[in-house]
Amino acid sequence: MICKPSNPKDIVAVGKAPMSTVSAPVMAEIGVAMLEGACKYGFANYRVVGVRASVYYDATMRHLFSWWEGEDVDPDSGLCHVTKAITSLVVLRDAMLHSMVEDDRPPGALKPFYVGLNAKAAAIVEKYKAVQPKHYTRADMK
94 occurs within a structural domain: yes
The pLDDT, as a whole number, for residue 78 is 98
60 occurs within a structural domain: yes
For the cut 90, the answer to whether the pLDDT of residue 72 exceeds it is yes
Which structural domain, as residue segments, surrounds residue 40? 8-107
The pLDDT, as a whole number, for residue 31 is 98
The pLDDT, as a whole number, for residue 126 is 96
pLDDT in tens, 131-140: 999 999 989 9
69 occurs within a structural domain: yes
Model confidence band, residue 49 (pLDDT cutoffs 50, 70, 90): very high
Q: Which of 35, 89, 43, 96 is nearest to 62 (CA)?
A: 89
The pLDDT, as a whole number, for residue 142 is 79
For the cut 60, the answer to whether the pLDDT of residue 1 exceeds it is no
39 occurs within a structural domain: yes
**Residue 95 buriedness (CB in 10 A; 0-12 / 13-18 / 19+):** buried
99 occurs within a structural domain: yes
When divided into structural domains, the chain yields a total of 1
For the cut 70, the answer to whether the pLDDT of residue 2 exceeds it is no
55 occurs within a structural domain: yes
The pLDDT, as a whole number, for residue 4 is 65
Beta strands (DSSP E) in 53-135 are: 101-102
For the cut 80, the answer to whether the pLDDT of residue 8 exceeds it is no
1 occurs within a structural domain: no
84 occurs within a structural domain: yes
